[in-house]
Chains A and B, each alone.
Chain A
């Protein structure tokens, strides 16, 4: 069992006396032994070096699953009924698939900056997939159900995967851009039509 040295115990005792002597309120709980912790001004003003089981995230935002449905509303008609135009689906740009840096995650010894994917870091997901520095958080059942290949890749990996974000994290070799498109295809029915209308380009 770890014990403070005599010199440290003396130091802690002096510090405790100082704190209590300056109006500090202490509450004795029967059966509990107080363990004083020594803090110095230097400790507080500099980096707090406490090992945490989960990564520290700054400025984290959670976004819901995007569906790209942007309903627009037309003018009212004479009989007062609003004409609501059909929602449109568009996948002609990648701007909504661009990952945005939302926080920093220490990844083991490598200490790389990890980036949560802006769209596909789903807070109720149960598996994280790392593509390069971008982290996706998705539902393993949904992803596995969509493709036997994905299921075969995920199933054995999850068992022994580290859980830096609170759920298993597995690494894929795909680029983040490619994987975001794949997830959009999986999570958005009809995202890829049976055929594109190529002749309408001009």
Chain B
């Protein structure tokens, strides 16, 4: 039990940002290193850290979450290189309107903005491709289970289209949670398809999303970014 339980509580983002700026500018290097270290869990640079993370991105700053752009902008200004790819990814998840926010603390440099839009667009296209492959070439004949949405005889109904859209969105979000539980209309897959879908989800998270994060800011790989 710590003597001062509130003492180690992460401050709100504005205070954290001030601390980072001031410790950088005035040479409080030991304190700055501690602050950067605290970011590593929520803004991982390694796949293992990402899988193990309990809190991701701007959620580390508590209920008063800052705008993802504000976090990315701070990291860009202060040169927090290792946290940049994930911060860019979090900003990109907000969609074009959030990404193009023009608030004083959220407006991003045009080149950064263009890179993220391009990168997230590429991710979405890749994930849509994965989702289409799941739908149309599932074992080259579709699922034999008639109740499964991927059954070969199922027409491209609205229900199936929604499933495809959700699958691709969930894949891009690279979330830790169960891909099936995020589908709002319940699980439309049979047990075998659900299991295989989870495996695909895991592989896609690592190979098609995680590996592409550095490209959001113009780096070819994680080695170049970190």
Chain A residues in the interface with B (C-beta under 8 A): 86-94, 97, 146-150, 174, 177-182, 185, 190, 192-202
User: In the complex, which residue of chain A has the Cβ closest to the Cβ of B10?
Assistant: A196
The reply to whether A148 and B34 contact each other, CB–CB distance below 8 Å, is no
Given A147-B28, A202-B55: A179 and B38 interface contact (C-beta under 8 Å): no
Q: Is the CB of A181 within 8 A of B18?
A: yes
B124 contacts the other chain (Cβ, under 8 Å)?
no
Contact, CB under 8 Å: A185 / B19: yes
Say whether B22 contacts A178, CB under 8 Å.
Answer: yes
- Interface range, B side: 20 to 34
A92 and B21 alpha carbons, distance in the complex (Å): 17
When the two chains form the complex, which single residue of A94, A149, A198 contacts B41, counting CB atoms closer than 8 Å? Answer: A198
For A148, the closest partner residue in chain B by CB is B27
B71 within 8 A of A: no
With a cutoff of 8 Å between Cβ atoms, the chain B residues found around residue A86 in the complex are: 3-4
- Are A199 and B55 in contact, with the CB atoms below 8 A? yes
Q: Which residue of A lies closest to B28 (CB)?
A: A147
With a CB–CB cut-off of 8 A, which chain A residues contact B34? Answer: 192-195
Instruction: Decide if B12 is an interface residue (CB 8 Å cutoff).
Output: yes
Known A178-B18, A185-B19; judge A149-B10 contact (CB<8 A).
no
Cα–Cα, bound, A148→B11 (Å): 26
Given the complex, which residues of B lie within 8 Å of A89, measured CB to CB?
4, 6-7
With contacts A178-B18, A178-B22, A185-B19 known, is A92 near B6, CB below 8 A? yes
| Residue on A nearest B65 in the bound complex, by CB | A201
